[in-house]
Homo-oligomer: A and B are copies of this chain.
Amino acid sequence: MTHPPEQERWIRRVPVSVPPPTLKDNTADVDRLIRGLGKELGGQEVRMDLSLSRKIPSFLREHHYRVEGLLYQERSSWHLVDILPPNEKDPLYGLAVDLGTSMIAVRLLDVLTGEIREETSFLNPQTQVGPDILTRIHYAGQEGGLQRLQSSLIQRLNQEIHSMAEKEGIPNHRIVGASIAGNTTMTHLFLALDPYWICREPYIPVLNKPGLICAREIGLGIHPGGAVLVFPNAGSYFGGDLIAGILASGMNQKEEVSILVDVGTNAEVVLGSKDWLVACAGAAGPALEGGVASMGMMAGPGVIDKVIIDPATREFQVRTLGDLPPVGICGSGMIDLVAQLYLAGMIDLRGKYVPEKCGERMEEVEGMRHLIVVFAEGSGTGKALTLSQAEIDGLMRSKAAMYTILTTMTRMVHLEWGDFHRFYVAGTFGSYIDPRSAIVLGMLPDLPLDVYEALGNTSLAGATMALLSMKKRDEVDEIRNRVTYVEMNVNQEFMNEFSAAKFIPHTDRTLFPSVP
């Protein structure tokens, strides 16, 4: 990612030197400083909180009226967050956060240079209440539930913020801004807004455009006066994470038509260009995310992200993150694995295990077939890593849903696969889906591989871009206002398509000429 130029920054450190007061120039300290900063910012209005006013007189005198203002831009005005000594060399930090339903990714950046200093991801603590959004919405409606959901989230974030700040050797208040992208419900829970109506027809969020929130208002452990940019949503099922994804892909700025698929808990699809944007979110099923498959997990040390099965010997080669003994498999690794199982003949075109081809890797537990992916002796957990028939069935439904949604959407806008200049595949948590494996499974259409571009966590990338650039922040609002959200009409035609897609790669083999 290239760093946006200085003049695009909306969090800035502005050196200012004001004339000391005299009997002839008795303007108050605060007004004097505001006037000086306004001049430095090309005459734009500067505001500040009363609480900061209290610090200003002694600070100005201590530094002989030469200080640096720490400001963030609202719309046409600026907000003074703090004043710092002059000629400060210490960097200022900002947070970019992907607020996922299952996993949360946090990035600490030098907000003036754009440099990434720390990055971490962790399980959303709200998964303790329920892995899925619906359970949490229900829980939020109970006495004190919403507050508990919010505070567990904020506390967990603050822990991570604290430990990142410690690693950097800085106090928390050096982190002066944040940019948060999440789906609509997660955004509501982050802000302690009741998501009750999100899951009830006609599916209405409390708000669409949270804008800038003051950190102290939600208790986020950064500078209490820092601005928290919360991505807007375009509806209950079209959240800030997807808007961040569009921003990260850049498809909203391109002449040519692109398609973006974000394979998370939902499969979210956006089609469009600089002239139009259409989006749809459909349940891709949780098979692609950890927490469901018995060995499924997020990308992390020891997690399998790539599998190769020799079709002749049926020998398994697994690659893990950090080259550690395998402890589990992530979503993209699972797509790889199932594609390889198919190519090796170990599952059939319905996705069912072919026991005679699986040999000693096949075992039956309580009437359910399991394939041993990694034997206990090679595993990092001391136990065998297995994949059950039920888990494959789940993935088959997910991939069929995905392909059907892609087909239906593309038809809806009167396009064909060949019309796409780029096919962006975003997957949360850095697990890059291998397009070839997804094509083999019939999850993604059979396009030339160079059309595909794996983007990783676009929600985090978009949050980062908006943190560093006012131009990108404006683009966020522009995307939100421009995108058309369409409900997937699950009619008979859709169901027919879906049924046809529940085979590997598809009942209509002509759609996948490249798959053997």
Residue of B nearest to A235 (CB): B26
Inter-chain contact B26/A206, CB cutoff 8 Å: no
Residue of B nearest to A210 (CB): B50
Inter-chain contact A202/B23, CB cutoff 8 Å: yes
CB-CB < 8 A to A22: which residues of B?
Answer: 202
Nearest CB on B from A23, distance (A): 5
- The answer, among B23, B30, B205, B210, for a CB contact under 8 Å with A487, is B23
Nearest CB on B from A205, distance (A): 4
Inter-chain contact B57/A206, CB cutoff 8 Å: yes
A116 to B90, CA, bound (A): 56
A485 to B24, CA, bound (A): 10
A342 to B29, CA, bound (A): 48
Q: Which of A185-214 contact B (CB under 8 A)?
A: 191-194, 196-197, 201-210, 213
Residue of B nearest to A203 (CB): B26
Inter-chain contact A57/B204, CB cutoff 8 Å: yes
Nearest CB on B from A370, distance (A): 43
A192 to B55, CA, bound (A): 11
Inter-chain contact B28/A206, CB cutoff 8 Å: yes
Q: Which of A27-78 contact B (CB under 8 A)?
A: 27-31, 50-51, 53-54, 56-58
CB-CB < 8 A to A209: which residues of B?
Answer: 31
Q: Interface SS of chain A: helix, strand, loop or mixed?
A: loop
CB-CB < 8 A to A202: which residues of B?
Answer: 21-23, 26
CB-CB < 8 A to A213: which residues of B?
Answer: 50
Chain A interface size band reads 35 or more
Residue of B nearest to A205 (CB): B28
Inter-chain contact A205/B29, CB cutoff 8 Å: yes
1/0 contact string of A197-239 vs chain B (CB within 8 Å) = 1000111111111100100011000000000000001011000
A411 to B206, CA, bound (A): 65
Supposing A31-B209, A50-B213, A213-B50 touch, asked if A26 and B204 sit within 8 A by C-beta, the answer is yes
**Sample (6) of A-B pairs whose CB atoms are under 8 Å apart:** A29-B197, A50-B210, A54-B194, A57-B196, A57-B197, A57-B204
Please list the 10 inter-chain residue pairs (A to B) with the smallest Cβ-Cβ separation, ordered nearest first: A30-B207, A28-B205, A28-B208, A31-B208, A23-B202, A21-B204, A28-B207, A26-B235, A21-B202, A22-B202
Chain A residues close to B by CB (< 8 Å) = 21-23, 26-31, 50-51, 53-54, 56-58, 191-194, 196-197, 201-210, 213, 217-218, 233, 235-236, 485, 487
Given A30-B208, A31-B207, A58-B194, 18 new contacts (CB under 8 A): A21-B204, A22-B202, A23-B201, A23-B202, A26-B202, A26-B204, A27-B204, A28-B205, A28-B207, A29-B204, A29-B207, A30-B206, A31-B208, A50-B193, A50-B213, A53-B191, A54-B193, A57-B204
